[in-house]
Structure 1
Amino acid sequence: MTSSSSRRPSGPARANKPASRPGSRPASRPVSRPAAAQPALHLAPDSLAFALDEAARAVGAVRAGAALPAALSSAFAALPSEFAQTARGAVQDIAYRTMRRLGIVDYLIKQRVSKAPPPPVLNLLACALALLVDDEAHAAYTPFTVVDQAVRSIGARREVAFAKGLVNAVLRGFLRERESALADAQNNEVARWNYPQWWIDAVRRAWPDRWQAILETGNTHGPLTLRVNASRTNAADYLQRLAAENIAATQIGEYAVRLAAPLPVERIPGFMAGDVSVQDAGAQLAAPALDVRDGMRVLDACAAPGGKSGHLLELADIDLIALESDAARAKRIGENLARLGFAQSDEEHDEGVEGRSARVVIGDAGVPDTWFEGEPFDRILADVPCSASGIVRRHPDIRWLRRASDIGALAQEQRRIVDALWGLLKPGGELLYVTCSIFPEEGEDQVRWFESTHADAVRLDAPGQLLPAGRDAEADTSAETHACPVPDRTADHDGFFYARFQKR
């Protein structure tokens, strides 16, 4: 950074930010920059002032309805390449910190500003306060540096330069009253937990004995967990490979290896060659639960970006169709399969494809008439659109983008898809229903509905409800009597729901 008294934080490793699935986050509005909001290129790209400026714009885009990854991508795309490369880590770090602290920083601003400031000022204050609320041991910069650079940042914008005094006063005032201000914020639930009130109420209602631990876990950083490619190696051998390169890691599941510290994907041994993939330990339970075997005909519905499709192919030589409704996202399936060494076939290029492969199909899982060719499946993975409430520690913007009314709408969409897919399953075949949600409306409530409306469905063992848990949590987070136990060392995982059905 330009200021010698500051120190640059390490931005989140790209590998630690898995791509979202269809429906795993609210629909994002297109991100655009008005003429007055172009990059402040006269600020040094390695300065905290520049990083605050860009992070504030990303936060503003989220408030307007954009997903944070899209907002950041738009910000970096608008910068000269040398600016984007220099500022990327700091901008991402500040933006994600702010999303995890948005409840408390907005509360602090409201306590100190009688009239709501213009959005650019509001978002700059939010980003600066997100850096100041941490105690000294976890602070990314010294308080003096944050205040100085925030004032520089707002002063660099002609349209809001008049607010330099306000920004200075709010930040310095908070520092003078820091202890009492933070203590007072604990009396406000949104500020205390950093979630919208409806979300807090929903988690407390669903999990009255564990709601606080669930919310706290959602405000932490998820670990970087790898899935070993079982068609090439195993977890024990891969751990030895990591140890040879002085990379600390632990096996936490049959195929799961957790790195002690995150690394960029290009520095993970074997990643680019397809020996491992980045996938949460909870998500890695999907493919094994389907119990696929060589020769089976399998459908991965809602398949992008292809992580579970790849895992299925790693486990068996199957006839796999990877279905995705979004053509742009479907391209990522092919890219992920190619990295793993699997081919992508389609109606035009089926001939000549050797080895394990998947046919990527564009279509709506809830409207089979537009893509289904008539041959039923032995296995169906229904990884359906959901609230993504179980993965908010990796995607902290989701909590601020969702609305309470979304849950009911998503539940109806899940029913539409699963109801349509059930008719494509062979007698004796199995369907695995999956959501990355912690809300019963998207989990056990859906199971009860499905059993009541499909007399030919027999519920089988499955992991059930996995609540998000850090590595120090109790290992068995299953919440249903139909659940299979989770391996003891997979405690550090996101939130998922699994239910498996066999057709009579």
Structure 2
Amino acid sequence: MSTPHPSSPPLHRLLSAGADAVQAVRDGHSLTEWLTRCPADVRPGAQALSFTVLRRLGAVQALRARLAPKAPPPRVDALLVTALALLWPGETAYTEHTLVDQAVEAARRRAPKNAGFVNAVLRRFLREREALVAALQDDPIATWNHPRWWQEQLQRDWPDHWQALLSANQQRPPMTLRVNPAQGSPSHYLDRLTEAGIAAHPAGDLWPQALVLDEPRPVQALPGFAEGDASVQDASAQLAAPLLLGTMAPQDLAPGEHWPMLGAGAHVLDACSAPGGKTAHLQELAGNRLDLLALDTDAKRLERVQQNLERLQLTARVTPADARNTQAWWDGRPFDGILLDAPCSASGIVRRHPDVRWLRRATDIPALAQIQSELLEALWPLLKPGGRLLYATCSVFKAEGQDQIDAFLQRHGDARWRQFTRGAGHLLPLADNASQEPPRGAAVTDGFFYALLQKLPSA
């Protein structure tokens, strides 16, 4: 067990900031957004602590209710659940004595009258920890640390995998890089990482540009990051560009059917582009020769797209617009390819965003599915006959994946869903990336859904 490094902020400050982060999420705010406003010196610690708490929030909220049936004020409650999560069996970041002492000090500073209460609750938990934890086993929210509706949705969609999916969301995600082919090969960059003392390995043959770090590192520590030699992007997200551009060919090609690459001069739309990882990957694979238009409704987030492109020495026309309102931005030229990375529940990336499960509501899923449907309907007429649209969501819910595309195909007789042996359909964030069908890969990746739709020529 360890204590904070002498140069780091005192633990009571980190606990207080972490508690504020947890309370912000309980109040309905995005953790990512809250952290941008957190003081810089405590931000890394607050993020690490809040991630731990949010991964165990169902259990520690139920635990606090047992220890103190009458809820204390929200700021005290947030501090309590933060400390309880860090005292949970198996957590070893801090010694028990240090943690309790610093939690009480944080209470003195944020709610002096409640410091004794915080001390009493935490010490009781340490005395009765084994029995208190065991008593929560019949509570499904405490057991799985996901809202009940989320669990039920996964049970319906993935009856053979729902428990594994919930368990996978509790794991810390890998840090995966995408090597810029214009700056060198993945094997060469792997050598550079080794020279820098950073252990990594290739993600697998399905992701030829992807390297997985053994331990996450700040991007500033990555060789040539500022010069555009590599980007941070999960392996699942690295499938979008090859699927759309054609470096991955469908398995259902007819005898003699040619599957052309979208390359130099191809007119391509990235309809919901921020923060720009897939936008940049499209141009990387095409040698920066696509006629690429990148849209997003959020002008602020589009700044990230432009920054990513500039760092990688790539170009695209970046325009703030709602892709559904085509009259406001489309010049009438049909597209050869469209990437629709649609707004979704983010249920496939909970490992990276542990607040998502607590922010979403069951009613969000049909509302998001409606937006996805509207985007598909608006963009399909903009595609050339023979062109292709790649529909993507970082979701494991079928309403945002297979069900959405099945409904679209019912409405559009001129659409064909092209099939792939690996790397498309529902990709689950499991050790073998399993699905209802045979395993689709060997790397642990985020949950995604991909469907490549080809527009049939007119009769």
1:45 and 1:51 in contact (8 A); partners too: no
Letter in 1 for 2:427: L
Q: In structure 2, how many angstroms separate the alpha carbons of the residues matched to 1:230 and 1:453?
A: 40
1:105 and 1:126 in contact (8 A); partners too: yes
User: Residue 49 of structure 1 corresponds to which residue in structure 2?
Assistant: 12
User: Residue 19 of structure 1 corresponds to which residue in structure 2?
Assistant: none
* Between 182-191 and 314-323, the greater mean CA deviation after superposition: 182-191
2:268 aligned with 1:278, yes or no? no
User: Residue 24 of structure 2 corresponds to which residue in structure 1?
Assistant: 61
2:396 and 2:449 in contact (8 A); partners too: yes
Q: In structure 1, how many angstroms separate the alpha carbons of the residues matched to 2:30 and 2:46?
A: 15
User: Residue 174 of structure 2 corresponds to which residue in structure 1?
Assistant: 223
**Residue 59 of structure 1, CA deviation:** 1.2
**Residue 161 of structure 1, CA deviation:** 1.3
Deviations 1:204-258, CA, capped at 9 Å, x for gaps: 1211111111011101110000001123322222112222223211111211100
User: Residue 274 of structure 2 corresponds to which residue in structure 1?
Assistant: 304
2:295 aligned with 1:323, yes or no? yes
TM norm structure 2: 0.91
Aligned to 1:451, the other structure's residue is in SS state helix
Where do 1:89-128 residues align within 5 Å? Answer: 89-128=44-83
Q: In structure 2, how many angstroms separate the alpha carbons of the residues matched to 1:127 and 1:502?
A: 50
User: Residue 150 of structure 2 corresponds to which residue in structure 1?
Assistant: 199
**Residue 130 of structure 1, CA deviation:** 1.1
Deviations 1:362-420, CA, capped at 9 Å, x for gaps: 11111111100000100000000000000000000000000000000000000000110
Q: In structure 1, how many angstroms separate the alpha carbons of the residues matched to 2:214 and 2:53?
A: 25
Q: In structure 2, how many angstroms separate the alpha carbons of the residues matched to 1:334 and 1:164?
A: 48
User: Residue 201 of structure 2 corresponds to which residue in structure 1?
Assistant: 250
Q: In structure 2, how many angstroms separate the alpha carbons of the residues matched to 1:326 and 1:96?
A: 26
Q: In structure 2, how many angstroms separate the alpha carbons of the residues matched to 1:106 and 1:300?
A: 41
Letter in 1 for 2:46: V
Letter in 2 for 1:310: A
2:410 aligned with 1:452, yes or no? yes
1:94 and 1:130 in contact (8 A); partners too: no
Q: In structure 1, how many angstroms separate the alpha carbons of the residues matched to 2:89 and 2:350?
A: 20
2:419 aligned with 1:464, yes or no? no
Where do 1:372-387 residues align within 5 Å? Answer: 372-387=330-345
2:450 aligned with 1:498, yes or no? yes
User: Residue 320 of structure 2 corresponds to which residue in structure 1?
Assistant: 362
**Residue 6 of structure 1, CA deviation:** 5.3
2:175 and 2:213 in contact (8 A); partners too: yes
Q: In structure 1, how many angstroms separate the alpha carbons of the residues matched to 2:137 and 2:351?
A: 21
Letter in 1 for 2:312: L
- Unpaired runs of 5+ residues, structure 2, are 247-261
**Residue 478 of structure 1, CA deviation:** 4.3
Q: In structure 2, how many angstroms separate the alpha carbons of the residues matched to 1:114 and 1:242?
A: 52
2:2 and 2:92 in contact (8 A); partners too: no
Q: In structure 1, how many angstroms separate the alpha carbons of the residues matched to 2:31 and 2:237?
A: 22
2:365 aligned with 1:412, yes or no? no
2:297 aligned with 1:334, yes or no? no
Aligned to 1:389, the other structure's residue is in SS state coil
1:464 and 1:479 in contact (8 A); partners too: no
Letter in 2 for 1:153: A
1:297 and 1:318 in contact (8 A); partners too: yes
User: Residue 269 of structure 1 corresponds to which residue in structure 2?
Assistant: 223
Letter in 2 for 1:190: I
2:263 aligned with 1:293, yes or no? yes
CA gap 1:6/1:49 in 2 versus in 1, 3 angstroms:
farther
Aligned to 1:501, the other structure's residue is in SS state strand
Deviations 1:20-76, CA, capped at 9 Å, x for gaps: xxxxxxxxxxxxxxxxxxxxxxxx972111111111111111111110111122222
Aligned to 1:429, the other structure's residue is in SS state strand
- Unpaired runs of 5+ residues, structure 1, are 10-43, 77-83, 343-356
2:4 aligned with 1:8, yes or no? yes
Letter in 1 for 2:294: A
Q: In structure 1, how many angstroms separate the alpha carbons of the residues matched to 2:434 and 2:425?
A: 9
2:241 and 2:282 in contact (8 A); partners too: yes
**Residue 480 of structure 1, CA deviation:** 5.7
Q: In structure 1, how many angstroms separate the alpha carbons of the residues matched to 2:198 and 2:8?
A: 31
Q: In structure 2, how many angstroms separate the alpha carbons of the residues matched to 1:479 and 1:237?
A: 37
User: Residue 129 of structure 1 corresponds to which residue in structure 2?
Assistant: 84
Q: In structure 1, how many angstroms separate the alpha carbons of the residues matched to 2:48 and 2:319?
A: 36
Aligned to 1:391, the other structure's residue is in SS state coil
* Between 289-298 and 116-125, the greater mean CA deviation after superposition: 289-298
Count how many residue pairs are aligned between Structure 1 and Structure 2: 432
CA gap 1:128/1:410 in 2 versus in 1, 3 angstroms:
same
CA-based RMSD of the aligned residues comes to 1.7
User: Residue 142 of structure 1 corresponds to which residue in structure 2?
Assistant: 95
2:4 and 2:10 in contact (8 A); partners too: no
User: Residue 154 of structure 1 corresponds to which residue in structure 2?
Assistant: 107
Deviations 1:57-114, CA, capped at 9 Å, x for gaps: 11111111110111122222xxxxxxx32x3332221111111111111010000112
Q: In structure 2, how many angstroms separate the alpha carbons of the residues matched to 1:494 and 1:327?
A: 26
Deviations 1:268-303, CA, capped at 9 Å, x for gaps: 112111111000001100000012322211000100
Q: In structure 2, how many angstroms separate the alpha carbons of the residues matched to 1:407 and 1:91?
A: 30
User: Residue 434 of structure 2 corresponds to which residue in structure 1?
Assistant: 477
Letter in 2 for 1:75: C
User: Residue 132 of structure 2 corresponds to which residue in structure 1?
Assistant: 181
CA gap 1:305/1:419 in 2 versus in 1, 3 angstroms:
same
* Between 435-444 and 196-205, the greater mean CA deviation after superposition: 196-205
Q: In structure 2, how many angstroms separate the alpha carbons of the residues matched to 1:245 and 1:61?
A: 38
User: Residue 259 of structure 2 corresponds to which residue in structure 1?
Assistant: none
Where do 1:204-215 residues align within 5 Å? Answer: 204-215=155-166
Letter in 2 for 1:178: R
2:397 aligned with 1:443, yes or no? no
Aligned to 1:185, the other structure's residue is in SS state coil
Q: In structure 2, how many angstroms separate the alpha carbons of the residues matched to 1:368 and 1:134?
A: 54
